[in-house]
Chains A and B, each alone.
Chain A
C-alpha cells in the first residue's frame, strides 16, 4: 500500500499541471526547500531559512505568529459576518439579533470575531513588549519597529471602529466617549472629532464611515503594513536572536555538544 501511494504521488508531482502550478517542484534538497519559499508570492516575504533556536516556544512565544493568526481568523469571520450585516441605523442592531437567532452558527461566528479581536489586541501588545524587552528593535531593525507601531495603531483603530457596528448601547456610548476624547486634543481636536464621525453626532453617517473604515480601509492598510513588516524581517537578517545571552565561558560538556550536533 505505501509503495503504491508513494508512486501515485510521484506521478502527480511530475505531471504538467502540477509543474505549471508549483514551478520548482518539491524535494528535500536545500535548493528545493529554499525555492519553495522564494518562488511563492505569499511565502517569499519570509526568509528562506530560520534559526532553529528561534523555533522553540520560549524564544518568541510565537506572539507575532499568533497575532497574524488571529488577524486571519478575524478576516475570515469578518467577511462571513459582512454577508448578513447592513450598516444602516435601525437595521444594524436587528442584524445582530438575526445573527444570534436565525443564522446557523451565527452566534459562534460573531463571538469568534469578537474574542479574536480582544485576543489580537492583547497579543499585539504582548508582542510589542517582547520585542522591546528582547532588544529586537535595535539596528538594523528600527524601521521594522516603526512599522510595528503603525500596525499597533491600526489594530487599535480596527478594534475601535468595529465596536460601533453592533449599534447597541455599549457601542454607541463607547464611541461617544472615544470621539469626545479625540476632541480634547489641542488645536485640531474638534477637527479630528468631525473627521472621525463624518459629522458632529454619532448617527447613521458615523456608522457608515466606521463600517467602511473597519471593513475596507483599515484592513487593506493593515495587510500592506503586514507585508512590509514580514519583508523587513527577512531583509533585516531574520528573527532576532538575543545577543545579550552570556557566552558559554566554561567548557561545554558532552551532553551539550551532543545536543548541538543534532
Chain B
C-alpha cells in the first residue's frame, strides 16, 4: 500500500506540481478529450465504406464523373408521407450509377433495374430494415419491437404487393401467393381485409355437406378425413391430423345431420349400360372434354386434366352410383351453384359415363375401414369437434353455422412485431421464417393449436409467404394516390331465358363476358360483332378446334334446336360492341385487285404465315387460329378492327399490333374474307 501511495504522490507531483506544468497537462488532457468526438465521427463505419467506395471508383474508366457525383457525409432520403427516413445511401453509394452494374461487392453495386425511382419510394418500403440507422448491424439486422430485419431476396415481391393490388407481370410469386390464399381456403378462416376496403374471398368452392349422406358413405368420409391427399393428390383440403376415434365421430355426425336432398333422384331414368362397347365410356369422356376441368392420374402417375373440378382418379370409391348418375344427368339438382354445366346427355350416355367413372376406383383405398354404428354420445362428440375445428368455415352443413373470427385476422400480418411471435429453438428470428414455419408445421408451436396441415411445395410456401408479407401496416395506411387497385370481377348476369340457359350450361365457368367469368376460354363480350351467325350456330352444334395447340376444349352440349337458336340470337344481339361499326369494310366493295394486294401483304410484308395457316398446302405456322375458313367465321368489321388494334379487342393477346394503315387493313380483310369454308365444316 505504501509503495502505491508513494508512487501515486510522486506521479501527482510530476504532473501537477508546478503551476505551469499543471496548466500544460490539463490543457493536453482537454485537447485529447476534445479530439474524441471528431475522431469517433472520422472512424465511423459509414466513413470507412465511403472511403472504400472512393478507392473503388478511382481505378475505373469513368472515375472523374463518378467522383464528381460522390456525396460525402450522411445521406438520407426523406419521404414524410410514406414515413420513410432512409440513410442507406450513406454506405450504398453506387446505387444509381449505371456504370457500376458489373460490381459484385456490396455495398457498391448498382441497384438492379426496377420500374420505380429510388428517390420516390426510398429503400425501406420494399426491403424493410431500419432506415434511420447508419451502422450495418442496426440497419440490416435490428429486430427490436417495431424494427424489421432486412427482407430476404426471395420475398422481395412482397414489397410490390403493398401498393399493387393488381396482378403484375413481373411479380409471379406474389400473384401465385395471392391466388393460393383464395384457392386453398385460407381466407375462409383467416379474414383478410384489403386496403381498398374489400375482403378477400375464397375461390375454392368447397362442397356443401347438407346432403352428404346421399352422395357418399361414412367409411369414405372417415378415410378422407384421415388423409385427403391419399384420395386425391391434388385435393386442396388440408389434413386435420385426426385420430381414428375423432374421424369416426365426425363422420358419424355428418351422416346423421345430413338431410334428404329435395331433388327427384327417384324419378331418374337410368338406361342400362350393358351391351355397349367397353371403350364407349372413355371416348364419351374424351368427346365431352371432361378433362378440361377434371384431372385424372394416368398410368404413369401424372395428373392429366384441369383443376376447376375435383380429381376423378378414385371417384368410384367415393360416390354412390345413383348419385353419380343423377349428377351427370343434371348437376344443378344437387348443387344449384355448381360450376359444372348441364350437358343434356341422353340416358344411355349418362349410364355409359357413370359406368366409366365408377370403374375409376382403387381397391386399396379405404379397404380396411370398418366403423361400428355410432352412439348418440359419439355423434354429439363429432358435432363438438366439427364446431371446434371450424369445418363450417368452408363447408355448409346442417346444425353448425359458419364461425365468426375463427382464426387471427391476417390483414396486417406483414407488420407483426417480432416481440409478439413465438420462435422455436433453432428458428431464425424473422417474420418470413415464422410465417413459413407456421405454414409448414402449423401445430408445432404449442399444444392445442387447430390449424390443419397443408401439403405444399417449397415454391408454393414461398409464394404464400410473399403474399402474406405484402399485407403490411403501410399497405393499409398509405395515401390513396399511391395505391393501384385490383381488377374487380363484375357480377354481370345475362337476362331472360337465354340467361337461364347460360347459367345451366355454366358458360361463365370458362368464358368471360362483361367482366364476369373465367379466363380459360375467350372473352365473349364482343362475340356478336365478331362472328357470323351461321358459324356460331354450327359451332354450338359441334364445337371444333380453333386454336391448334391447346389442351382445353369446349365441350359439346346436346342442345335442342330451339335452345341453340335462342343462345345464338342472344349472343349475336346482346354482345355487340359499339366500337365496331358493322358496315366497316363490307365484302361487296372488294375488287380482285384488293384481294390480291391483301394476299401479298399477308405473305410478304407482314408474313402472317409465321403464325397463321391460311392455305394448308403452303403454310405451317401453328400459333394463332387457322384462317382457312375465317371468311365464314368472322365478320369483316371485326377482322378490320382486329388488324388495326388487336389489344383493344382482346387485351393481352399475343398478336402483335403492327400499326397497319387503313389501306393495308382493308386489303388484308378483303383477302381473308375470301377464305371461306366449302360447305360442311370439317371437324377436328
A and B touch in the complex (CB under 8 A): yes
Q: CB within 8 Å of B: which residues of A?
A: 1-2, 5, 9, 93-94, 97-98, 100-102, 104-105, 108, 168-169
A98 contacts B132, C-beta separation under 8 Å: yes
Complex CA–CA separation, A108 to B33 (angstroms): 13
A101 contacts B135, C-beta separation under 8 Å: yes
Complex CA–CA separation, A17 to B20 (angstroms): 23
A169 contacts B87, C-beta separation under 8 Å: no
Complex CA–CA separation, A168 to B132 (angstroms): 15
Give which listed residue, A1, A102, A104, A108, contacts B20 with CB less than 8 A: A1
Give which listed residue, A1, A9, A101, A105, contacts B40 with CB less than 8 A: A105
Complex CA–CA separation, A168 to B144 (angstroms): 10
With A102-B134, A104-B41, A105-B40 known as contacts, the answer to whether A169 contacts B145 (CB < 8 A) is yes
Chain A neighbourhood of B135, CB < 8 A:
101
A101 contacts B18, C-beta separation under 8 Å: no
A94 contacts B85, C-beta separation under 8 Å: yes
B74 within 8 A of A: yes
Closest Cβ of chain B to A216, distance in Å, is: 28
Complex CA–CA separation, A108 to B135 (angstroms): 15
B37 contacts A105, C-beta separation under 8 Å: yes
A102 contacts B18, C-beta separation under 8 Å: no
B37 contacts A104, C-beta separation under 8 Å: yes
User: What are 6 A-B interface contacts by the 8 Å CB criterion?
Assistant: A100-B138, A101-B74, A101-B87, A101-B133, A105-B37, A168-B145
B74 contacts A102, C-beta separation under 8 Å: yes
Give which listed residue, A2, A9, A93, contacts B18 with CB less than 8 A: A2
Complex CA–CA separation, A105 to B35 (angstroms): 11
Closest Cβ of chain A to B46, distance in Å, is: 9
B133 contacts A104, C-beta separation under 8 Å: no
B485 within 8 A of A: no
B19 within 8 A of A: yes
Chain B neighbourhood of A94, CB < 8 A:
85, 132
Q: Digitize B126-167: 1 where CB-to-A-CB distance is under 8 Å, 0 elsewhere.
A: 000010111100100000111000000000000000000000
A169 contacts B146, C-beta separation under 8 Å: yes
A168 contacts B134, C-beta separation under 8 Å: no
Q: B158-206: which have CB < 8 Å to A?
A: none
B419 within 8 A of A: yes
Complex CA–CA separation, A97 to B19 (angstroms): 45
B419 contacts A101, C-beta separation under 8 Å: no
With A1-B20, A168-B146 known as contacts, the answer to whether A101 contacts B138 (CB < 8 A) is yes
B38 within 8 A of A: yes
Most central of A5, A97, A104 by chain B CB within 10 Å: A97
Chain B neighbourhood of A104, CB < 8 A:
37-38, 40-41
Besides A1-B20, A2-B18, 12 other CB < 8 A contacts? A2-B19, A5-B19, A9-B19, A100-B138, A101-B74, A101-B87, A101-B134, A101-B138, A102-B74, A104-B37, A105-B40, A168-B146
Chain A neighbourhood of B74, CB < 8 A:
101-102
Complex CA–CA separation, A108 to B74 (angstroms): 19
Chain A neighbourhood of B146, CB < 8 A:
93, 168-169
B20 contacts A2, C-beta separation under 8 Å: yes
Closest Cβ of chain B to A73, distance in Å, is: 14
B20 contacts A169, C-beta separation under 8 Å: no
Closest Cβ of chain A to B87, distance in Å, is: 7
Closest Cβ of chain A to B92, distance in Å, is: 15
Complex CA–CA separation, A2 to B23 (angstroms): 13
Complex CA–CA separation, A93 to B130 (angstroms): 13
Chain A neighbourhood of B87, CB < 8 A:
101-102
Chain B neighbourhood of A98, CB < 8 A:
132
Most central of A9, A101, A102, A168 by chain B CB within 10 Å: A101
Chain A neighbourhood of B18, CB < 8 A:
2
Complex CA–CA separation, A108 to B44 (angstroms): 14
Going nearest first, the 10 A-B pairs with the smallest beta carbon separation are A97-B132, A101-B134, A105-B37, A169-B145, A104-B41, A104-B37, A101-B133, A102-B74, A5-B20, A101-B132
Closest Cβ of chain B to A5, distance in Å, is: 6
Complex CA–CA separation, A9 to B23 (angstroms): 13
Most central of B18, B41, B132, B419 by chain A CB within 10 Å: B132
Closest A residue to B41 by beta carbon equals A104
Q: B1-46: which have CB < 8 Å to A?
A: 18-20, 36-38, 40-41
Chain A neighbourhood of B19, CB < 8 A:
2, 5, 9
Complex CA–CA separation, A93 to B147 (angstroms): 12
Closest Cβ of chain B to A171, distance in Å, is: 12
Most central of A5, A102, A104, A169 by chain B CB within 10 Å: A102
Closest Cβ of chain B to A172, distance in Å, is: 10
